[in-house]
């Protein structure tokens, strides 16, 4: 039995579809399982990674886990998984752990702490370290639909947008083929694109005119204050500044594990164009 945590997430949703099609026994967990939409016959269960009381029941009879990175109670989760007989964990981590300042970056450190705990545990663990999710562009949906400019503090900053379907396909491969257990995989999209280039792709695909408002760091932080806590906003800004005008490194890991090239940001935009139009 494979347990998928964070069942409402984009990667988890696609992973469930892939495992179900492959005929693998799977259980989906979420802090709010009543909100899950799962195929008939697929069991769902409550598992809040911030509440250890929910771990034991969710892990009962499970041999493999697709795990979202939540550091607050990772030690308790590992203990519960080992007690339940879990053999393999596939962790959705972040390429941020590969940065030299990862230990000082609150976003990267939360993933780094989970990785460190799993590395010292008895569980065989595969790390998936995606770069920038293409889905991050969804944060621009509201201003685009409202006909307002998109605020960008570093429009020339490069990212490596990766489609959530590609992450799910790699996760499915490592969950269903024991040969890949224990590997540390850096996943990226096929192109390094600036934020401005992503905006241009969205404008082409949606047929909408999208303008960019080049704001300062502080202006962006004030605009995002209700959505992103200050330390996390600073971490994002520092990362974007570091890659302003400097392309991020790319990998071909997706193609190696799926047999097809990683999907482009334009493909992601086509798949989600309805999010950006009324």
* Separation of alpha carbons 115 and 97, rounded Å: 9
* Separation of alpha carbons 154 and 196, rounded Å: 9
Q: 10 Å Cβ neighbour count for 68? A: 17
Per-residue confidence in pLDDT tens, the chain, 278 aa: 999 999 889 999 999 999 999 999 999 998 888 778 788 888 999 999 999 999 999 999 999 999 999 999 999 999 999 999 999 999 999 999 999 888 988 889 999 999 999 999 999 999 999 999 999 999 999 999 988 999 999 999 999 999 999 999 999 999 999 999 999 999 999 999 999 999 999 999 999 899 999 999 999 999 998 888 988 999 999 999 999 999 999 999 999 999 999 999 999 999 999 998 87
Burial class (CB in 10 A: 0-12, 13-18, 19+), 213: middle
Q: Are strands 26-30 and 2-4 parallel, antiparallel or unpaired?
A: parallel
pLDDT score at 172? 97
Nearest to 132 by CA among 91, 182, 166: 166
Supply the pTM of this predicted model.
0.95
* Separation of alpha carbons 67 and 70, rounded Å: 9
* Separation of alpha carbons 205 and 207, rounded Å: 6
pLDDT score at 36? 80
pLDDT score at 270? 95
Q: Are strands 193-194 and 158-159 parallel, antiparallel or unpaired?
A: antiparallel
pLDDT score at 248? 94
User: What DSSP character marks residue 276?
Assistant: G
Count helices and strands in the chain by DSSP H and E runs: 11, 11
Domains and CATH numbers, the chain: 2-130 (3.40.50.720), 135-162+189-248+263-278 (3.40.50.720)
Nearest to 55 by CA among 36, 35, 37, 82: 82
pLDDT score at 37? 79
Q: 10 Å Cβ neighbour count for 186? A: 18
Q: 10 Å Cβ neighbour count for 12? A: 24
* Separation of alpha carbons 170 and 14, rounded Å: 11
* Separation of alpha carbons 174 and 150, rounded Å: 38
pLDDT score at 38? 83
Which residues are within 8 A (CB) of 189 and not within 5 positions of it... i.e. 6 or more apart? 131, 132, 134, 160, 161, 162, 163, 166, 250, 262, 263, 264, 265
Q: 10 Å Cβ neighbour count for 102? A: 17
CB 204 within 8 A of CB 163: no
């Amino acid at each position: 039995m494979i347990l998928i945590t964070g069942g409402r997430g984009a990667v988890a949703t696609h992973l469930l579809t892939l495992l179900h099609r492959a005929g693998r026994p799977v259980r989906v967990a979420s802090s709010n399982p009543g909100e899950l939409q799962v195929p008939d016959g697929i069991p769902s269960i409550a598992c809040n990674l911030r509440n250890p009381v929910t771990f034991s029941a969710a892990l009962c009879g499970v041999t493999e886990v697709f795990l979202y990175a939540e550091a607050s109670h990772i030690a308790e989760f590992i203990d519960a998984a080992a007690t339940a007989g879990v053999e393999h964990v596939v962790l959705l981590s972040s390429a941020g752990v590969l940065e030299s300042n990862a230990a000082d970056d609150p976003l990267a450190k939360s993933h780094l702490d989970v990785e460190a705990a799993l590395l010292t545990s008895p569980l065989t663990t595969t790390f998936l370290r995606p770069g920038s999710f293409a889905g991050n562009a969804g944060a621009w949906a509201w201003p685009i639909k409202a006909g307002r400019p998109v605020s960008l503090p570093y429009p020339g900053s490069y990212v490596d947008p990766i489609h959530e379907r590609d992450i799910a396909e790699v996760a499915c491969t490592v969950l269903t083929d024991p040969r890949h257990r224990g590997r540390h995989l850096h996943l990226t999209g096929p192109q390094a694109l600036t934020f401005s280039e992503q905006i241009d792709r969205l404008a082409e695909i949606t047929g909408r005119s999208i303008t960019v408002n080049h704001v300062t760091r502080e202006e962006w932080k004030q605009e995002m204050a209700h959505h992103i806590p200050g330390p996390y906003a600073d971490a994002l800004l520092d990362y974007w500044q570091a890659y302003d005008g400097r392309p991020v490194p790319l990998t071909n890991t997706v193609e190696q594990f799926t047999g097809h090239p990683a999907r482009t940001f334009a493909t992601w935009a086509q798949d989600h164009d309805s999010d950006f139009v009324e």
